[in-house]
Amino acid sequence: MDDSNQQKVGQISGAEIIMRCLQEENVKFVFGYPGGAVLHIYDALFKQKHFKHILVRHEQAAVHAADAFSRATGEVGVALVTSGPGATNAVTGIATAYMDSIPMVVISGQVPTAAIGMDAFQEVDMVGVTRPCVKHNFLIKDVHDIAITLKKAFYIAASGRPGPVVVDIPKDITAEFAEFDYPKSVEMRSYTPVTKGHSGQIKKAVKILLEAKRPMIYTGGGLVLGDASNELVKLARTLDYPVTNTLMGLGGYPATDKQYVGMLGMHGTYEANNAMQDCDVLLAVGARFDDRVVGNPDHFLSVPRTIIHIDVDPSSISKRVKVDVPIVGHVQSVLGEMNELLAAETKKPDASALKSWWAKIDGWRAKNTSSYDGSSSSIIKPQYVIEKLCEVTKGDAFVTSDVGQHQMWAAQYYKFDKPRRWINSGGLGTMGVGLPYAMGCQLAYPDAQVACVTGEGSIQMNIQELSTCKQFHLPIKVILLNNRYLGMVRQWQEFFYENRYSESYMDSLPDFVKLAESYGHVGMNIEKPGDVEGALQDAFAMKDKFVFMNFMTDQKENVFPMVPNGKGLSEMILGSDPNANDAVDEMEG
């Protein structure tokens, strides 16, 4: 063993090696929080100027902000936390990123190597704790392994189906010395993600697509993560087939396009869910047929249809729903190849079948299930706020959301024409992401409009970040749809528990305006529908101000349409049903 404690010529400390690795990876922001186990790292950080450190107020927010930075830019997000409580605080953020396949590297400090396993102060088995919610994790045991391990971490996080990677580094390792040598590339015999799809399968898929009578294209978060929007638009336009996006896939296809039938799933549109159920050929791209999307899989499969599924992760294929033509590959490359084949193809889609299919879809559309009763001049409808938000920001903002009813309304009523604009926790459904997500977006795009749509329950789960926003002058606009309820919980209790609103009120709320002002931000209370638009205009005109907008909204508004748990996609409850709530009771009975 060489003596790594003595610095020799050409050597730098482990902490400095970490800085150099981040520099090599072109990291622009590190979101973090210091503590004992990472003091050497923070000392090295103090001396460098290649990236900016964003000091959050809670480690969970550091990870969420890094996650949003990645969602908005496509780059790998980076967070840095100390051992023990710092590390466990980060876990919710890591799990959130994992469920949505977000590429991230989380560096956690660990107690010194000799103290591991001794129940040392602030010791937690981070590799063990995070194992089920990371793509991979490492515990570094030798200063010479830091560079190669971080290289692998960034590579694993960003390639294949992306995901968070945790690198746990004991304190002593960061004080030892070694030469810095960053590998240009890594090869791992155990990890070789696919890129190109099988050309035979792609040909077969194109043939089936062209024979479709009632085609449907369904795309998810994988399309956005795979940056394949342009390829999708080209394909869909060539074929003139209808397109739906999942909650995670919004913006993957422009929402204002006439071929777009809206979001599908539990709170999807009538036309999207019916077309999904009724189609004879389904092209699924970077989507995983999860329980919130296809409802009851048996009901979904009771209608025969041919399913083509493109995904970079073989384990996503035929997991919940058996597919006919699996194509494992990078969605961008596979759709690109399909477009080339279509361009060379003489056969065209069946025009008359397509015409009657569109007529059927337009019939569903005519039901206009996203209409709501906006006639009141005294009570603000949450949907209305989002519609106006979309207008005022010209549909071009980065919109983050928390979790609950407001999330669904944001997804339904904001028209996303571009990918990576809609930033939310789809898989884990983590309340509290909204504000840190907005921080990540605003730092990535300082001049962009960033709106955080939230609920009074969710915002309080990371409200401390108002302080971070002050420190870094982040001109985020918080759109609080304040219904004084944990609205989504209350809605389920109304529908499925005979209005027993068990612990779903939100009482003793702070004065949000004063709270915002106490941090030096601007606060606004908006109580009348007539004030909504003007207030939004005023807020977004304050380009360099953080504005906290507290909209007092209808307390009892529900999210419709709704596919109740365990029901089929075409068994939706519509808001326009005068007896929507009775309809729910009946289905339950």
Ligand X SMILES: Cc1ncc(C[n+]2csc(CCOP(=O)(O)OP(=O)(O)O)c2C)c(N)n1
> Could you say whether residue 434 binds Mg ion (CB under 5 A)?
no
Q: 109, 455, 561, 575: which one contacts ligand X (CB under 6 A)?
A: 455
Contact between 404 and ligand X (CB under 6 A)? Answer: yes
Q: Kindly state the tokens that stand for 454.
A: 């939230």
Nearest residue (CB) to ligand X, 64 versus 144: 64
Residue 460 among the catalytic residues: no
> Contact region for Mg ion (CB under 5 A) — 41-49, 123-131, 227-235, 453-461?
453-461
Q: Which residues pair with 128 in a beta bridge?
A: none
Regarding 151 and contact with other proteins (CB under 8 A), the answer is: no
Task: Return the residue of 274, 468, 483, 570 that touches ligand X, per CB under 6 A.
Answer: 483
Residue 323, helix vs strand vs coil: coil
Closest CA to 267 of 456, 491, 419, 95: 491
Decide if residue 455 touches Mg ion (CB under 5 A). Answer: yes
**Sole residue written with tokens 């748990």:** 565
| Binding residue for other proteins, selected from 322, 348, 355, 473, defined by CB under 8 A | 322
Provide the minimum distance between the beta carbon of 480 and Mg ion in the complex, in angstroms, as a whole number: 9
* Catalytically annotated residue among 135, 151, 152, 171: 171
When the beta carbons of 19 and 166 are compared against other proteins, the nearer one is 166
Cβ(411)–Cβ(562) below 8 Å:
no
Select the span of 207-215, 347-355, 397-405, 467-475 touching ligand X (CB under 6 A): 397-405
* From 70-78, 318-326, 410-418, 502-510, span contacting other proteins (CB under 8 A): 318-326
Q: How far apart are CA 394 and CA 415, in angstroms?
A: 9
**Positive or negative: CA dihedral 318, 321, 322, 325:** negative
Q: What is the spatial distance between Cα 413 and Cα 507, in angstroms, rounded to a whole number?
A: 28
Which stretch, 59-67, 130-138, 393-401, 453-461, contacts ligand X (CB under 6 A)? 453-461
Tokens 């749509």 belong to residue: 453
Token pair for 522: 């601007």
Q: Does 315 bind other proteins (CB under 8 A)?
A: yes
Structure-token pair, residue 400: 């983050």
- Of these, 74, 112, 429, 520, which contacts ligand X (CB under 6 A)? 429
> Are the C-beta atoms of residues 286 and 308 closer than 8 Å to each other?
no
* CA angle at 423 for the pair 530 and 536, rounded to the nearest 5°: 20
Element at 401 (helix H, strand E): strand 398-401
Task: Kindly state whether residue 487 participates in binding ligand X, applying the rule CB under 6 A.
Answer: yes
Q: Does 171 qualify as catalytic in the annotation? A: yes
Taking CB under 8 A as the criterion, the residue among 238, 296, 318, 576 binding other proteins is: 318
Which ranges of 366-427 would DSSP assign to H, the alpha helix?
382-392, 405-413
What gap in Å lies between CA 318 and CA 314, rounded to an integer? 9
Residue 128 as a binder of other proteins (CB under 8 A): the answer is yes
Query: Containing H/E element for 136?
Result: strand 136-139
Q: How far is the CB of 486 from ligand X (least distance, A)?
A: 4
Rule CB under 8 A: choose which of 47, 189, 258, 514 binds other proteins.
Answer: 189
Question: What part of residues 475-494 is at the interface with Mg ion (CB under 5 A)?
Answer: 483, 485, 487
d(CA 186, CA 156): 10
Closest C-alpha among 270, 250, 261 to residue 575:
270
Tell me which of 481, 526, 539, 572 binds ligand X, using CB under 6 A: 481
In sequence order, the β-bridge partners of residue 453 are 401, 479
Return the number of the residue (202 or 403) whose C-beta is nearest ligand X.
Answer: 403
Query: Which is nearest to 393 in space by CA: 555, 539, 229?
Result: 539
Q: 151 is written with which tokens? A: 């290289």
**Annotated catalytic residue within 16, 59, 337, 465:** 59
- Pick 326 or 487: Cβ nearer ligand X: 487
**Amino acid identity, residue 414?**
Y
Contact 487, 406 (CB under 8 A): yes
Q: Candidates 14-22, 187-195, 486-494, 530-538 — which segment interacts with other proteins by CB under 8 A?
A: 187-195
Number of residues that bind ligand X (CB under 6 A): 21
Residue 431 interacts with ligand X (CB under 6 A)?
yes
Minimum CB separation from other proteins for residue 457, in Å? 29
| Closest distance of CB 402 from ligand X, Å | 5
Instruction: Tell me if 93 contacts ligand X by CB under 6 A.
Output: no
Nearest to 206 by CA among 290, 306, 129, 130: 306
Is there binding between residue 297 and ligand X (CB under 6 A)?
no
Say which of 11, 122, 201, 464 is annotated catalytic: 122
Report the alpha-carbon distance of residue 143 to residue 172 in Å, rounded: 9
Catalytic residue among 7, 121, 471, 586: 121
Q: Is 122 a catalytic residue?
A: yes
Contacts of 91 (CB under 8 A, 6+ apart): 129, 130, 133
439 is catalytic: no
Burial 452-476 (b: 16+ CB within 10 A, else e): bbbbbbbbbbbbebbebbeebebbb
Under the criterion CB under 8 A, does residue 156 sit at the interface with other proteins? yes
In the annotation, is 571 catalytic? Answer: no
Nearer to ligand X among residue 123 and residue 402 (C-beta): 402
Least distance (Å) between residue 194 CB and ligand X? 34
User: Contact at 8 Å (CB) between 494 and 486?
Assistant: no
Task: Please identify which residue in 188, 344, 351, 359 interacts with other proteins, judged by CB under 8 A.
Answer: 188
Half-sphere exposure of 31 (CA within 13 A, CB side): 35
Which positions touch ligand X (CB under 6 A)? 402-406, 429-432, 455-458, 481, 483, 485-489, 506
Binding footprint of Mg ion on the chain (CB under 5 A): 455-457, 483, 485, 487
Q: Which residues bind other proteins (CB under 8 A)?
A: 127-128, 131-132, 135-136, 139, 156, 188-191, 313-315, 318-319, 322
> Hey, which residues are catalytic here?
59, 121-122, 171, 488
